[in-house]
Amino acid sequence: MHDETGGAPPTPPAAAPGRPLRLGVLASGSGTNLQVLLDTFTADAADGDLARVVAVGGDRPGATALERADRSGVPWRAFPRDDHPTRDARDAAIAAWLHEHDVDLVVLAGYMAILTPTFLRAFPDRVVNVHPSLLPAFPGIRAVEQAVAYGVRTFGVTVHLVDDGVDTGPVLLQDAVVLDDTPDADAALAAIRPLEHRLLPEAVRIIARGGARRDPDAPRRVLLDRG
């Protein structure tokens, strides 16, 4: 996301002393990435003092992800598109709800709706997404299916900051796996899922520790200190 004031781009937030970074997670489906975040960043979890999931939102009532939040005792809410006159109105409602929960960082964990500029202006450089490809290759929906159709042998995962393009934000972390046999989409997804489950919480840890900042010489790049 660019800075409309003309200054340097914002820097992702770090946890304040004695206060875990407050995470708001958006998810649409089964919520396996959400579960990893819940297992890692709740009050009793190993990294609960560093970051904490405090709210979970979704666009699909009845999604398993919301059930996971409920079982974990985390406040959750569904925001169906049909309940709002426009996408902007829906995203404004989500942003307002997350602000009510004092969210510092928004994590997209399998959230299938494209966020509007209205939402991104509410959380500048404070939205992180996990995408099932090595961006900039295969952006958008059905990324794994795109890669399989293209015939690639290397499949990967990218965690990136979200801007107002489609999977065009600055890269935080990437990793890949080589599949020698020609896989179908289900096999490729199964192969990269452990990468998602490792990289997403790692990106949150880095941000919470203050280890992510924009490169002043190349603002599209994010400099990382993994500590």
Distances (CA, A) of 22 to 11, 54, 187: 16, 6, 34
Residues 62, 78: Cα–Cα separation, whole Å: 8
Element (H, E) at 77: strand 76-78
Instruction: Let me know if 131 is a catalytic residue.
Output: yes
Q: Note the helical H segments in the chain.
A: 32-40, 64-71, 87-100, 117-122, 143-150, 185-208
Annotated catalytic residue within 84, 99, 101, 131: 131
Residues 218, 220: Cα–Cα separation, whole Å: 6
Question: Residue 118 corresponds to which tokens in the numbers above?
Answer: 């209205």
Distances (CA, A) of 143 to 62, 123, 196, 200: 25, 25, 14, 18
Provide the annotated active-site residues: 131
